[in-house]
Structure 1
Amino acid sequence: MDTRPSPPNLDDQAAQLIAAVNNAMTTPTHYRDHTPLPTTGTTPPVTQPGRPPMSQRATDTSALLLSGSVLTLAAGGAISGILWASGHADPTTIALIAAAPISIAVPILALSRLMARAKDAAAALPTEQHHHYNAPVTQDQRTINTRTSGMWASTRNQMSDSD
């Protein structure tokens, strides 16, 4: 005698599956209440402070543009500062390229002119040198010009006798 269970009939299984699908299709999955919402008063809506009411897409685009402009300003300012500090760009050129508003461009130009005048004044001042000798000193004065391919160098030594 065989004690093993008999395999299920495929037709019975298919019928159970079809019945489960039909049951799932007839069961409602949502419900919409069509009753009107109660009103709380007759006062018209008041505009709230902050951003005006917009669609979600318009809000996302606005936030994207604002954050992009802040990042662009920060990157441009950093690059301009590096170029100006390294001496590879003129402040006037930086102001014109950035199309800075007049309230920003005027102080930049004024500061650049002030710095240029201070630099010229410092270069015009003679450097004060003090030499103290305890023995006779001989200074050699010669000019040596050296030319190689693409480079020219000049060394100037001045000669004078001092006690």
Structure 2
Amino acid sequence: MDFEPITRPLTDDEAKAEAERIIARSFQPEMPPVRHIPTSFRDDTPLPAYGDTPPVHQDDKRIVPAWAAGIAVASIGVGAGITGVGCGAWLVLQGLASVTLYGVLMVTLPFAGVAMVATAIGGAFSKARRSVSKTVYEGPVTQNTQINNTSNQRGMFSRTRNDVR
């Protein structure tokens, strides 16, 4: 180590000198800087002999195609929509995770209401389709009580035929 620890508090001048030494040492390059890959812009103006170079205006010639901008906007919209759907599903599942009698009733209540409405509509259609007719049959009524029985049995199969006349 090139310094010895100080056990007493530093004065303001000593602290300033120590801070400058630490900052100067940490910003000293230990190896030569890496050469960067040149860009497509080349500035041919001569560099000044000392000091910083003045800024040079560089035109921005990037063009974003309309389809790329559309896809970017659509992907942001889809991502926001899916996030909303996911949050809604999370809330529903959080509510269903604490199963109580009231929770089960609240979940099944909409389904029971829809079933009740569907049953009422079906009953109304059924009654509307049913025709109202009061048919009066007039004429002679004949009742036949003669039954003609024929049976055939061969082997293990048998056949019985009943004719009502």
TM-score by length of 1: 0.23
The structure whose Rg is larger is: 2
TM-score by length of 2: 0.23
Structure number with the bigger relative contact order (C-alpha 8 A, sep ≥ 6) is 1
